[in-house]
Structure 1
Amino acid sequence: MERTFRTLKYECIFLHDYATMTELSDGLKGFVGFFNQKRLHQGLDYQTPDEVYEAGCFPDREIDNQVA
């Protein structure tokens, strides 16, 4: 979650000079749409969150030193 908020701040909020709450709201809606539908995520094997959600599972990962 912290990484998501950092991305939101640095790639959306800090780059624009929103003058009104309406502008901010519209900007956030646009960024969230981009973030979920078009932006590739390294932690999701370079897929979008929407692609992972539609597939119904997270990408397979090998976990080192997992204790069962």
Structure 2
Amino acid sequence: IEVFHKTIKYENVYRKETYQSFYEAREDIEDFIDYYNSERLHQGVDYVTPDQKYNGKADEIIDERKKKHQSAIDRRKRLNRKRKSTAA
């Protein structure tokens, strides 16, 4: 929870000049909490959102990323081999 408090202060609250009212501050913080949980990727949970982790979607997302990464590596290796064979 300490990390959350630091994050909300430095990424949201401290960037504002001032809030005009308690209600404006409350609404802004509620919006940030929604963003923090549903859109912002978190290093501590393998760069998925807390909502994705909580709803059991994280493993599927991480597996898909790994597949894309491996596909990019394989494609790059093929291109490099092709370049070497045509350069020789």
Q: Counterparts of 2:24 and 2:15 in 1: how far apart (Å)?
A: 13
Q: Counterparts of 2:9 and 2:54 in 1: how far apart (Å)?
A: 24
Q: Counterparts of 1:48 and 1:18 in 2: how far apart (Å)?
A: 28
TM-score by length of 1: 0.78
Give me the identity figure in percent: 35
Deviations 1:16-59 (A, max 9, x none): 121200100110111000000000000110000000000188xx
Q: Counterparts of 2:9 and 2:50 in 1: how far apart (Å)?
A: 19
Counterpart of 1:36, as a letter, is N
The number of residues matched between the two structures is 58
Q: Counterparts of 1:5 and 1:38 in 2: how far apart (Å)?
A: 17
Partner in structure 2 of residue 29 of structure 1? 30
Q: Counterparts of 2:30 and 2:46 in 1: how far apart (Å)?
A: 24
Partner in structure 2 of residue 14 of structure 1? 14
The unaligned stretches of length 5 or more in structure 2 are: 59-88
Root-mean-square deviation over aligned CA pairs: 1.9
Moved over 2 A (4+): none
Counterpart of 1:10, as a letter, is Y
The unaligned stretches of length 5 or more in structure 1 are: 58-68
Q: Which has the higher contact order (CA 8 A, sep 6+)?
A: 1
Q: Which has the higher helix share?
A: 2
